[in-house]
Amino acid sequence: MSNNSVIPSNRIKQALKSGQSVVGTMIAEIRQPSVVQLLANAGFDFVIIDNEHGAFNIETIADLARMAVYVGVTPFVRVPDLAYPYIAQSLDAGAQGIMAPRISTAQQVREVVEMMKYPPLGRRGSALSRGYTRFKGGPVVETMARVNEETMLIVQVETRGAIDNIEEIVAVPGVDVTLIGPNDLSIALDVPDQQDHPDMRAAIQKMIAACQRQGVYPAIHINDLKLAAHWARQGMRLVSSGAEIGLLVRGGLEVTKTIGEAMGRSA
């Protein structure tokens, strides 16, 4: 394909193919696009724009995603539902990947792939000169093929069904990443908030092994940094932790605690 394609390269996909592992975080609340520049300055490789639990509309998603691509951070959008408008609009706006929540079966994944990919791989409708093309036109067939190649699908593994059906899920063509959501998964496995429980460890190891057999990249989003580091050592290729709001509070607490102690303030 042409080197001057209107489709920007997916930096995360390139990094993973070259054997690197990558670090990310979520954007859950702050709408100002400059937050993505700040996260880039902090060294993050990717961001997950949380449209499942975050309060974002499509205009905000577009602003955040385009800024992310501009500053060299790969933007993914976690959609609120496995529905065509959420998936297609996010991609048209500039997202370079979709995170699909609450997956339980391979059939759900196949349906998401169909909504994400252009023909002949799927049924996504084509419209050039949009955010994902940097508002440029181009040859339709070549552009569709390039988008199919660059766009990533992250399947969130957070249900008992996803663990039970993990072999079938990772075998679906078009799945790039499966990502453990430990909070919901712990609830589904009847060990709520026990993210280091033996049942959780067994489920996560099962997913990693299935990914390794199929050439899919295993991932996790977890707030506990010690557990994040543990799973990075166990083979997770994408590790995400926290969100911009937690990072802001954590940094602020360090300032107020340090200065407050010097002032003699009690905790």
**What is the pTM assigned to this prediction?**
0.94
**Residue 88, pLDDT score:** 97
Among candidate residues 145, 158, 152, 206, the one with its CA nearest the CA of residue 177: 152
Per-residue pLDDT averaged across 108-121, rounded? 98
**Residue 3, pLDDT score:** 45
User: What are the tens digits of pLDDT across the range 43-81?
Assistant: 999 999 999 999 999 999 999 999 999 999 999 999 999
Handedness of CA 56, 74, 84, 138 (dihedral sign): positive
CA distance 171 to 65: 29
User: What are the tens digits of pLDDT across the range 241-263?
Assistant: 999 999 999 999 999 999 999 99
Whether 1 has a pLDDT exceeding 50, the answer reads: no
- Residue 42 — pLDDT band, cuts 50, 70, 90? very high
For the chain, what percent of residues have pLDDT higher than 90? 96
Mean pLDDT of the chain: 96
**Residue 61, pLDDT score:** 98
Per-residue pLDDT averaged across 173-187, rounded? 97
In terms of DSSP bridges, do strands 152-157 and 74-78 run parallel, antiparallel, or are they unpaired?
Answer: unpaired
- Residues noted as catalytic: 53
User: What are the tens digits of pLDDT across the range 122-172?
Assistant: 999 999 999 999 899 999 999 999 999 999 999 999 999 999 999 999 999
In terms of DSSP bridges, do strands 177-180 and 74-78 run parallel, antiparallel, or are they unpaired?
Answer: unpaired
| Torsion of Cα atoms, 80 then 86 then 88 then 90, to 10° | -80
Whether 228 has a pLDDT exceeding 60, the answer reads: yes
**Residue 267, pLDDT score:** 64
Domains of the chain, start order: 11-262 (3.20.20.60)
**H/E segment holding residue 177:** strand 177-180
**Residue 4, pLDDT score:** 58
**Residue 212, pLDDT score:** 96
